[in-house]
Structure 1
Amino acid sequence: MPLIELREFLGIVEEGTGDSGRISLLLFQAVMFTGVAFVDMSHLTTAGFATRNKARKAFYLKSRALYDFDYETDRVAIIQALLLMTYWCETPDNQKDTWHWMGVAISLANTIGLHRNPSPTTIPPRKQKLWKRIWWSCFMRDHLVALGMRRPSRIKDEDFDIPMLELEDFETEEFPSHILSCCRTLRNSALLTDLAHLCIAKAKLCLCISHVLSDAQYSVLIRNKGQAMGQEDYTRSSVMLFPMKLDQTDEVRDCDSELAEWLVSSP
C-alpha cells in the first residue's frame, strides 16, 4: 500500500541522527513488522528468531503495545500504522484482529476528513497526494479484507468524494543514491511507474468489488438466525455476507460488464 512518504521515510532512517526529520515510532515499528515478511531469513536468524512467524509476532506486539499505550498522537501516523497492522491475524477468535484494526483505521480516517476531496483546500499539494493515497489504501484494504473474511465492507461509494488515484500522486522519480543503495528498484523510475499503474488498477478493481459486495448482491445475516443459541454462540463473532436469493440478473450483468471493462483497461 502506498501509504507513506517513502523518500522522506527512508531518508530519515538512512541518515539516522534525526537532523533531517523525525518519524513516528509507531509507524516505524509497523513498517518493520510488515517488512519482516519479506527479508531474507538469514537476517532474522541472526537477530535470534527461530521462525519468520515468531519474528512477525514480536514486531507486531511492539506496534500494538505502542498503540495500546496511546504513544502516538498524530492520527495520520496512527492510520498508516493500523493499516499495516491489519496484516497480522493469529487466530480467528482474536478480539483485535484484522477486522478490528481495519475498523479503527477507517473511523480515524473519517474523523480527520481523509474521505473528503482535499483539492479545494489550502493543504500543501504534497500532503494532499499522501492523504489521497492513504484513503485509497483504506478503501482497497477494506474491500479485500471484506472479500477474504466474508464480511460487509465498511466504506461505501457514497461515503467519500476522493477522486481516483493518478500517476502524479505517486513517487515515481529515481531515489537518491544514498537511500538504500543496495535496492535497485528505487533506482528504476520505469519500474516505480509500473508499480504505480498497478496500484491504480488495484484501486479500480476494488471499486468493482465494492459493487459486487453491495447490498444489491449480498446481505448481512446472523449465523443460526432463528435458532436457539447458547451463551457461547452469542459471544462469538458471527456477522458474515451471504448471497441474496432474489433474481438479480441485471445487477449481476452490470457487475460482470464492469469487471470485463476493468480487465480490458488494466495494464
Structure 2
Amino acid sequence: MMDGLLRVFVCHVYPLLPVLDLANFLGAVNGTNSDSISLVLFQAVMFAGVAFADLYHLLQEGFRSYNDAPKIFFDRVTLLYEMDVESNPTTMIQILLLMTYWYGQQNVTKGRFYWLRIAFSLATDIGLDRQHQFSNQSVRQRMRQKLWYCCLMRDKLLSITERRQNAHCCHHENLEGLDPDDFEDAALSQA
C-alpha cells in the first residue's frame, strides 16, 4: 500500500504542492540514502496520497469505504502532531500544509484553514516570508522559498474552493518570481 500511496502522492499532490525535497524523501523511504525522515511527515504524505487512491485498492487493504481511509490516515497524523513528535519547524510546515488536504466535516474548528494558519505562523516565525530577499540562494534557501510559495499557493487555492478570505494577506509583499529550476525535480521521473 505504501508504494501505491507514494505513487499517487507524486502524481497528484506533489505537482500542486511541492513541499518536499522529493529525491531525499523517496531515497530515505526506499533506503537508497542515509537520510532519515520524520514519522509525522511520512504519515502526512500517506494521508495526502490516500485522497487519490483507487477505491478498489483501499477495499483490498481492509477499509470499509472510501471515506474511512482518509479519516484513519488523518487521525494518525493528527495524533502524532498533537503529541509533539516533530520539533523541526520546517518539517512542521510541510506536515501542516499536507494536513490541509483534510476535507471532513465543515463545522469542525480544526478545518483546513486552522492548519494553514498554523503553517503561516510557523513560516513567518522562521523567516520564510523573507527568503526572497536573498540572492544567489543555496539549495536549502531555495527549498525554504519554495515552501513559502507553497503556503501562499495553498492559501489561494483553499480561498477559492471554499469561498473564504485568504488566511494570509500578502498584497504588500514584493515577491520575486520563482525560477523554473526551483521546480526541477529529477525524482519525478523516477515515480
Q: TM-score range by the shorter chain?
A: 0.7 to 0.9
Q: Provide Cα deviations, 1:80-113, integer angstroms capped at 9, x if missing partner.
A: 1111111112111111011111111111111111
Q: TM-score, normalised by structure 1?
A: 0.60
- Conserved 8 A contact 2:23-2:185: no
- Conserved 8 A contact 2:132-2:176: no
Larger Rg: 1
Q: CA deviation at 1:34?
A: 0.8
Assess, with a 3 A threshold, how the Cα gap between structure 1 residues 31 and 94 changes in structure 2: closer, same or farther.
Answer: same
Whether 1:73 aligns to 2:87 is: yes
| Aligned length in residues | 175
Whether 1:58 aligns to 2:61 is: no
Which 4+ residue blocks in structure 1 deviate beyond 6 angstroms?
none
Assess, with a 3 A threshold, how the Cα gap between structure 1 residues 150 and 126 changes in structure 2: closer, same or farther.
Answer: same
- Conserved 8 A contact 2:44-2:98: yes
- Conserved 8 A contact 2:40-2:80: yes
Supply the distance in 2 between the matched residues of 1:118 and 1:109 (Cα, whole angstroms). 13
Specify the alignment match of 1:131 in structure 2. Answer: 144
Specify the alignment match of 1:253 in structure 2. Answer: none
Q: CA deviation at 1:142?
A: 0.8
Give the unaligned 5+ runs of structure 1: 176-184, 189-267
| Alignment partner of 1:145 out of 154, 158, 162 | 158
Whether 1:167 aligns to 2:180 is: yes
- Conserved 8 A contact 1:27-1:81: yes
Give the unaligned 5+ runs of structure 2: 1-16
SS in 1 for 2:28: helix
Structure with higher helix content? 2
Q: TM-score, normalised by structure 2?
A: 0.82
Q: CA deviation at 1:155?
A: 2.3
